[in-house]
Amino acid sequence: MRVRHRTNGRGRGWALILTGLFAIHLLAHLVQVAGRDDLAGGVERVRVQRLASGRTTTLGGIARGRPLLLVFWTSWCAYCVKELESGAGLAERLSAGPAPSEVVFVNVREHPEIVASIPAAAAVTERIVLDTDGRLARALGVRAYPTYVLLDSRGQRLWFHEGFDEAIADEIAPRLARVGRSP
């Protein structure tokens, strides 16, 4: 004799919800792992194009053994343009601190002519690099603009911040000081 249990359909509903959540988690993990593959060989070997010269270089060549602050931005983001306007001051302040660092403004997926046409970019043209295919941004988990990523001298991510922050230099300076004291 076979015994049947009544579930009122609730059991199937929860099973579907749990299966859906598991699938979303698995997909997010696969996307994260795929992003890491983009940086095979380390961040310092990632190639980017300098806006000013049009030449291709590596992030390691830009950093030259110093910590590196990457500021990811786009031309259509008003806060990003505002960050560019204060970018020279940010770079000057961070390069003169206890652990001198390099500040690089990484434009994501835009044509060089569009980037060069932004008046605010003129003050930091030498510090702008192009991530034309968005590979670097994807690999570092950039989902919003502006995003700040602080890397140590070995290319390891120390800090990550999404969104505009007028006091960003105040937030980063103590972290750089700690990096400067560590062996």
Evaluate whether residue 35 is within a structural domain.
no
Confidence of residue 43 (pLDDT cuts 50, 70, 90): confident
| Chain length of the chain | 183
Q: b/e string for 12-37 if b means 16 or more Cβ within 10 A?
A: eeeeeeeeeeeeeeeeeeeeeeebee
More confident residue, 29 or 107: 107
Q: What total number of domains does the chain contain?
A: 1
Q: Would residue 34 count as lying in a domain?
A: no
> Is 182 exposed, middle or buried, given 0-12, 13-18 or 19+ CB atoms closer than 10 A?
exposed
Distance CA 55, CA 139 (A): 22
Give 59-93 pLDDT, tens digit per residue. 989 988 889 999 999 999 999 999 999 888 888 88
State the residue range of the domain holding 173: 43-181
Secondary structure class of 26 (helix, strand, coil): helix
Per-residue pLDDT at 131? 96
Please check whether residue 5 lies inside any domain of the structure: no
**Alpha-carbon Rg for the chain in angstroms:** 21
Residue 10 lies in a domain: no
- What is the predicted pLDDT for the residue at 29? 47
Residue-wise pLDDT for 154-177, tens only, equals: 888 889 999 998 888 888 888 777
pLDDT at 33: 42
Domain containing residue 88: CATH number: 3.40.30.10
